[in-house]
Amino acid sequence: MAVEEEGLRIFQSVKIKIGEAKNLPSYPGPNKMRDCYCTVNLDQEEVFRTKIVEKSLCPFYGEDFHCEIPRSFRHLSFYIFDRDVFRRDSIIGKVAIQKEDLQKYHNRDTWFQLQHVDADSEVQGKVHLELRLSEVITDTGVVCHKLAARILECQGLPIVNGQCDPYATVTLAGPYRSEAKKTKVRRRTNNPQFDEVFYFEVTRPCSYSRKSHFDFEEEDVDKLEIRYFLQPRDNGSRSLKPGDLGSLRLNVVYTEDHVFSSDYYSPLRDLLLRSADVEPVSASAAHILGEVCREKQEAAVPLVRLFLQHGRVVPFISAIANAEVRRTQDPNTIFRGNSLTSKCIDETMKLAGMHYLHVTLKPSIEEICQSHKPCEIDPVRLRDGENLENNMENLRQYVDHIFSAITKSGVSCPTVMCDIFFSLREAAAKRFQDDPDVRYTAVSSFVFLRFFAPAILSPNLFQLTLHHTDPLTSRTLTLISKTIQTLGSLSKSKSASFKESYMAAFYEFFNEQKYTEAVKNFLDLISSSGRRDPKSIEQPILLKEGFMIKRAQGRKRFGMKNFKKRWFRLTNHEFTYQKSKGDQPLCSIPIENILAVEKLEEESFKMKNMFQVIQPERALYVQADNCVEAKAWADTLTKVSQHNQQRLTTFHPSAYLNGRWLCCRASSDMAAGCTPCTGGLPANIQLDIDGDRETERIYSLFNLNMSKLEKMQEACGSRSVYAGPEQEEYSSFVIDDPQETYKTLRQVIAGVGALEQEHAQYRRDKFQKTKYGSQEHPIGDKSFQSYIRQRSETSTHSI
């Protein structure tokens, strides 16, 4: 979900690694240990929670969280909570990073000191004021000045314990007096409308001998309309020793993409999409991006997403894979490095293969996590009472179960992955014709080593489990992952590939020809040019599930329309809810009956994060836990119902209550909508890609590495003129055809320069139109202050 701003779409996203906390204060009891968890908050809205780590003052979490941010925010905050024996949660401390400071810690492991939390430190929101200073003639004819302070509204106030009943106080403070006035209380809202006016005498009559404390310049006499970010009171911070609450290790990657309309990106996008057809491929724009980026992963992510959207990912990966195979001398090292090819295939498997991964592995992973069978086979690590032979048998059964699930899943492998594997197989077999197994190892190095094995090892990173697994389960999954990886490698001396003697002994269970044949049959199937994905019977695909709060739909003529917590499930066939997970559905909505999915205005029920699922006869009103979850549910519901024939073009943004729609006041519950429905989303559930956003990211990477592009131009010139030994400073670049590469570089630099001009013009226009103290940039908005500083900086490279 993007924020629209004068022809520009602004996307925000964040990737967070919550590492560990250390030196937390001990519990004031005999045990002294704590059971702690960590939350991620946008301002004060919780959007993620880690598992509870028990009995530790240095809890390790090891959890990752990634989300699109659907609204503006000021702080990214992390709270450490302690849960006591009565299941009561208390805050130990927090880390709050201002939005404008996030780039300081970009993609770096950083330790942050935990800060104390109190009422004043939790201030958030902004206030809209109108001030007017006027002259008033008293009954005695003396001229005085009166200040009229009009409190119009507040926005984004904190919700404490699920409630917010705000009021405002206006205080006029001087050296000899302090006068305060108070608004009425507004119930159950964190966006209160006050519209109350208070009057203060700000100057004494002329006969008053002491000089007034209040000085106003001439223009201040007119009405002044301003907005402030709310700030803590002066006594809001307490004097405390640093480090007395402990610290928290975090890695935060925050990105903000400013995306123009599609036509701005046409030159650069077209240049990138032609990459697969450029000879040699090393002279293409996409390959050049991989050469200049510090990390190949940075280039691979937007390239793969862009090529997937335009159906060009298979030709491009085939081209760069062929080029890499031609440069490889030893078949045993094929696709083993962190090259652009490897990273692009990894990213394609993550995007296109996630559902396949879940269908194949999730049942086995859930069984392992729930059964907790002992599987330790290292004699040194055995616990008291454990039997080595029993543990080996437990582990063997788990490995057999997962191995069977993988090798029987070939028909479910996504077509785009199969097409890529086919090109890898053909390139490897052609390059190393004397090695009969290279056609298998070229594919297994990806599907086993980079796809299945990592997912088994860290299931939480692939959404196979909600949180990081406990230490015993994690150890079991490590042993299974090692075994599956070795089985898939088709190594000629498999037992010798283990460093640990106990792993080599365990692997003897699998030294049978049937395992090798099963792997080869599986690899043959997923890399066959004639393979087709069976579509005759479409199985229900679970897309999303979880607890939310719903309002009764009024399907019965009589009955309370109250709010209840229910377990929701969404598949590609239906949207259902039940009392608890695993119960029979209380309501089932076929996907073809979903006419629209839209946000529900807060005014309807004084509740945030609500959306509506509109059906032919009624709407289902649902509240998610937070803004991130609300966006995820609404987006997924919209995607899966995108091609329904009866989809609406208009809707009611507010609810139908007390015989009328709150938005347009229409009395009929069947009245046509008063607001256009939001734009459609891509129908492909697995590949929700915005090509313009990806091209903007690629532009940003090129612009960031402009000095390397220029250095690469110099390298092309040097090789064209001098055919002798390569200069050391140019040796890092792969340049097979200097003239073709130089030609592409000129086009890239021109396209990047044109986009940079557009961004610069946009910044200038925005600066001229922006008023400090406005709705967009309230007083206290440090992001605007930093924006002013950025405007004064000139571009490193002239255009």
Q: What is the layout of strands, in order, in the sheet containing 610-614?
A: 587-590, 574-578, 563-571, 542-551, 619-623, 610-614, 596-599
Question: Hey, what are 93's tokens?
Answer: 């401390």
16 touches 252 (CB < 8 A)? yes
- What is the rounded CA–CA span in Å between residue 275 and residue 323? 13
Selection from 555, 628, 637, 545 nearest residue 596 by Cα: 637
Ranges of residues in the chain with a pLDDT under 70 are: 1-6, 119-121, 160-162, 203-227, 229, 232-243, 491-497, 529-540, 553-561, 679-688, 720-731, 781-799
CA distance to 260, 377, 605, 767, per residue, from 770 (Å): 19, 66, 34, 5
What the block records as the tokens of 584 is: 């029979």
Residue 589's nearest CA partner among 625, 561, 639, 553 is: 553
**Over the stretch 167-195, which tens digit does the pLDDT of each residue have?**
998 888 777 777 888 999 998 888 899 99
Kind and range of the H or E run holding 401:
helix 388-407
Residue 652 φ then ψ, to 5°: -100, 115
Give residue 481's pLDDT.
Answer: 95
Contact partners, residue 199, CB within 8 Å, separation at least 6: 146, 147, 148, 149
> Parallel, antiparallel, or unpaired: how do β-strands 675-676 and 650-651 relate?
antiparallel
Please spell the DSSP secondary structure of 525-562, one letter per residue.
HHT-TT-----SSPPP-EEEEEEEEEE----SSSS---
Q: What are phi and psi of 455, to 5 degrees?
A: -70, -35
Q: Is 252 exposed, middle or buried (0-12, 13-18, 19+ CB in 10 A)?
A: buried
In 3D space, the residue among 214, 145, 133 whose CA is nearest the CA of residue 175 turns out to be 214
Digit-coded pLDDT (tens) for 460-513: 889 898 888 888 999 999 999 999 999 998 765 555 567 788 888 888 888 888
Residue owning tokens 């409190």 = 151
Please give the Cα distance from 562 to 74 (Å, whole number): 34
DSSP annotation string for 490-520: T-TTTGGG-SSHHHHHHHGGG-SHHHHHHHH
The pLDDT score that the predictor gives to residue 697 is: 96
Query: Are residues 753 and 796 in contact, defined by beta-carbon separation less than 8 angstroms?
Result: no
Burial class, 618, CB count within 10 angstroms (exposed 0-12 / middle 13-18 / buried 19+): middle
- pLDDT at site 377: 93
Choose among 403, 560, 558: nearest CA to 483. Answer: 403
- Residue 752's pLDDT is 96
C-alpha to C-alpha distance for 441 and 425, rounded to whole angstroms:
9
Tokens matching residue 605:
């029920």
Q: What is the pLDDT of residue 497?
A: 62
Alpha-helix runs per DSSP H in 652-705: 691-704
The SS3 assignment for 189 reads coil
Query: 564-595, pLDDT tens digit by residue?
Result: 999 999 988 899 999 998 899 999 999 999 99
pLDDT of residue 32: 87
d(CA 312, CA 284): 14
Residue 738 DSSP class? H
Contact 131, 223 (CB under 8 A): yes
pLDDT confidence of residue 608: 87
Q: Is 616 helix (H, G, I), strand (E, B) or coil?
A: coil
Cα torsion at 201, 204, 210, 211 (round to 10°)? Answer: 70
Query: Which distant-in-sequence residues (6+ apart) come within 8 Å of 234 by Cβ?
Result: none
